[in-house]
Amino acid sequence: LFFPCRPCCLEALLAEAAAPGEPARPCPCPLPRGDTSLSRLVRLLLSARRSLDLCIFSFSCPQLARAVHLLHRRGVRVRLVTDAQCMGLQGSQIGRLRQAGIQVRHDQHSGFMHHKFAIVDQRMLITGSLNWTIQAIQSNRENVLVVDDAECVKPFLDEFEKIWEEYNPAHYSF
C-alpha cells in the first residue's frame, strides 16, 4: 500500500465491523467511500480474530484508533507498544485506547521506539514507513508492506515479544 491517499469516509466499514449484519445508518459526510490505501489498511486490521500486536511510533489517526478499539471490544487480544515522547503529543490516541482498557507499554529511552508495524493473529505482518497519523496518511509519501510469509513474520513476532517484556512497567526505573 502506498500513501498519501485521499480523505475517505470509513463510517460504513467501521459500522459494519461493529455490528455485522445490521443495516448501517448512511453517513451524511461529503467524503467519498471508495477503496483507498487507508480503507485497505483498516480492513486488514479488522480481519483480526485472535490477536493484534502493535508497535507504533506515533498514533493519532482517530479512524485507526476506532478500528483498534473495536477489535478490543470484540475480544481480540490487543497489545500496543508506542514511543514515550510521542504518546503525550496533542491528538495522540494512546490515552483514549488506554482508557478503553487496552494494554499499552512504552519505552523509557532517549532513543525512539520508531517501529511502525502490526501483527494480525500472529501470522500477518503489516509494516512500513507509515506512522498512524492523518498527516502521514493524507500528505506524505509512505509505504506499507503486507507479508504473511512465516519466515518474514517470525523475527517481528520475536521483536514484539522482546520489546513487550523489556517495556514491562515492572522494569521502569523512573
Q: Which is nearer to its own copies, 78 or 144 (CB)?
A: 144
Q: Which is nearer to its own copies, 65 or 163 (CB)?
A: 163
- How distant is the alpha carbon of residue 17 from its chain centre? 16
Whether 162 sits among the annotated catalytic residues: the reply is no
CB of 172 to its own copies, least distance (A): 16
Interface with its own copies in residues 42-61 (CB under 8 A): 55, 57
Whether 114 sits among the annotated catalytic residues: the reply is yes
Q: Which residues contact 120 (CB under 8 A, 6 or more apart)?
A: 44, 45, 47, 48, 51, 52, 126
Interface with its own copies in residues 116-135 (CB under 8 A): 116-117, 127-130, 135
Residue 7 to residue 137: CA distance in whole angstroms: 9
Indicate which residues carry an active-site annotation: 114, 116, 121
